[in-house]
Amino acid sequence: MGRLTTHVLDIAAGRPAPGLRIRLTSLDSGAVLGEFTTNADGRLDAPALQGNAFQPGRYELLFMAGEYFRRTGTISGDGPDFIDEVPLRFGVKDASQHYHVPLLVSPWAYSTYRGS
């Protein structure tokens, strides 16, 4: 069964990013498909999408990284932050597969990849 999962690593602190909010949107329909918060391990408690809800198409995971960094005291929040919301847009061709889309983030940079 195909599924969509994610996790977030705070690479400035060298640990998972707990309590980081994420919004999943279908770029094809514009519908918000879910809003999530990472657990203590920086992961979601369940897949963001799975089974019949997981379909081929274009998606966006929007990570509220600036909010997380302000809450943890990593940044002061007294002006515009370099990294705020991080949008990751990606396509799903075969929804029978596992798509794992992690975010590695700091207040100054981020990266992603298709994991397993």
Task: Name the band, by pLDDT with cuts 50, 70 and 90, for residue 115.
Answer: very high
Q: Give CA separation, 34 vs 37, 40, 51, 53, in Å.
A: 10, 19, 15, 11
To the nearest whole percent, how much of the chain has pLDDT over 90? Answer: 91
Q: Is the separation of the CB atoms in 76 and 37 below 8 Å?
A: no
Q: Per-residue pLDDT averaged across 68-82, rounded?
A: 89
Q: Per-residue pLDDT averaged across 48-74, rounded?
A: 96
Query: What is the per-residue pLDDT for 85?
Result: 97
3-state secondary structure of 72: helix
Q: Is the pLDDT of residue 74 over 80?
A: yes
Task: Name the band, by pLDDT with cuts 50, 70 and 90, for residue 80.
Answer: confident
